[in-house]
């Protein structure tokens, strides 16, 4: 549920948008306008199911509706859901997608592991259910440009045992990755994680190069985190971190998957894991404002405020 702090913030966001046409930021009167502002939500994970291990599945419909109303009261460039829109069952999409569709600004999805907790025959339908067939050729990874910002959405389910059929390259590689990580005694050798395939890694590197040439700042969105070291990280988190190292235009990596949330700074890259909406009775989501010298996260519910220089 929304807290008193959240209600005041939502009302303040609405008055700023209506009274000053977005000329002022949430930082207060006279503050500089952000270059980019967007809503960010992780792990709504809806299902018509009783609560379990602290996850209130049915309540995600109400939580997401509260979130949508609060975000619609602000003047945002877009909103992104960081994966695991459902807990299980393909029919769950029909219940929660219409709630998300009520957002008044452009809104996007990231693929998560629970999005594929559906019947085997229905797994190929998941990207279309989330509208990803219209982005990036339906591959699950795509990029967008807004002003001098390049937004890169990655598919952490690319190498996995749950999204790829047995015997396929992605499934086989997932088994190999987990075996490798177990030999290395890494904590992310788990079946609920995933990785980026070779094709996606090449594409990612190419988009990063193109963004650097265009003098664009980059924010990456992926369901799985890459830093700090955590049981929920991508299988090839270290390879990805090497790819990011030395690229001065990459500002942040935003992830979900770990419902407790997390934060760390890998060199110049802010690695923020958003708290899961489904977890607990209190809501969790945020608004990110990107300025010339920092990112400002305004947290709602369980999500804390954060300033990232």
Q: What is the mean pLDDT of residues 103-117?
A: 98
Query: What whole-number distance in Å separates Cα of residue 249 and Cα of residue 247?
Result: 6
Task: Quote the Cα angle for 41-5-34, to 5°.
Answer: 60
Asked if residue 4 has pLDDT above 60, the reply is: no
Give the DSSP letter of residue 122: G
pLDDT in tens, 210-266: 999 999 999 999 999 999 999 999 999 999 999 999 899 999 999 999 999 999 999
The pTM assigned to this predicted structure is 0.90
pLDDT band per the 50, 70, 90 thresholds, residue 23: very low
Q: Which two tokens stand for residue 308?
A: 């990232």
Residue 220: φ, ψ to 5°:
-105, 140
Q: Which domains does the chain have, with CATH numbers?
A: 33-308 (3.60.21.10)
So what's the pLDDT on residue 11? 37
């Amino acid at each position: 549920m929304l807290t008193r702090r959240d209600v005041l913030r939502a009302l303040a966001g609405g008055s700023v948008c209506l009274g000053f046409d977005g000329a002022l930021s949430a930082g207060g009167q006279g503050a500089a306008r952000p270059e980019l502002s967007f809503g960010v939500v992780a792990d709504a994970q809806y299902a018509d199911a009783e609560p379990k291990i602290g996850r209130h599945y049915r309540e995600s419909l109400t939580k997401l509706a509260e979130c949508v109303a609060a975000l619609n009261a602000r003047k945002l460039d877009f909103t992104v859901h960081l994966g695991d829109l459902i807990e299980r069952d393909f029919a769950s999409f029909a219940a929660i997608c219409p709630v998300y569709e009520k957002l008044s600004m452009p809104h996007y999805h990231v693929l998560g592991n629970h999005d594929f907790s559906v019947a085997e025959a229905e797994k190929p339908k998941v990207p279309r259910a989330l509208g990803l067939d219209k982005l990036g050729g339906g591959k699950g990874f795509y990029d967008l440009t807004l002003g001098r910002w390049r937004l890169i959405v990655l598919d952490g389910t690319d190498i996995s045992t749950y999204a790829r059929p047995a015997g396929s390259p992605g499934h086989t590689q997932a088994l190999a990755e987990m075996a490798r990580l177990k030999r290395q005694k890494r904590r992310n050798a788990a079946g609920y994680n995933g990785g980026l395939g070779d094709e996606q890694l090449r594409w990612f590197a190419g988009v990063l190069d193109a963004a650097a040439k265009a003098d664009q700042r980059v924010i990456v969105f992926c369901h799985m985190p890459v830093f700090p070291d955590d049981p929920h990280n991508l299988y090839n988190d270290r390879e990805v971190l090497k790819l990011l190292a030395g690229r001065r235009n990459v500002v942040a990596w935003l992830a979900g998957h770990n419902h407790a949330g997390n934060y760390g700074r890998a060199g110049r890259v802010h690695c923020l894991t958003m708290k899961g909406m489904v977890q607990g009775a209190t809501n969790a989501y945020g608004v990110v404002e990107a300025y010339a010298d920092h990112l400002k996260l305004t947290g709602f519910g369980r999500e804390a405020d954060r300033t990232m220089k």
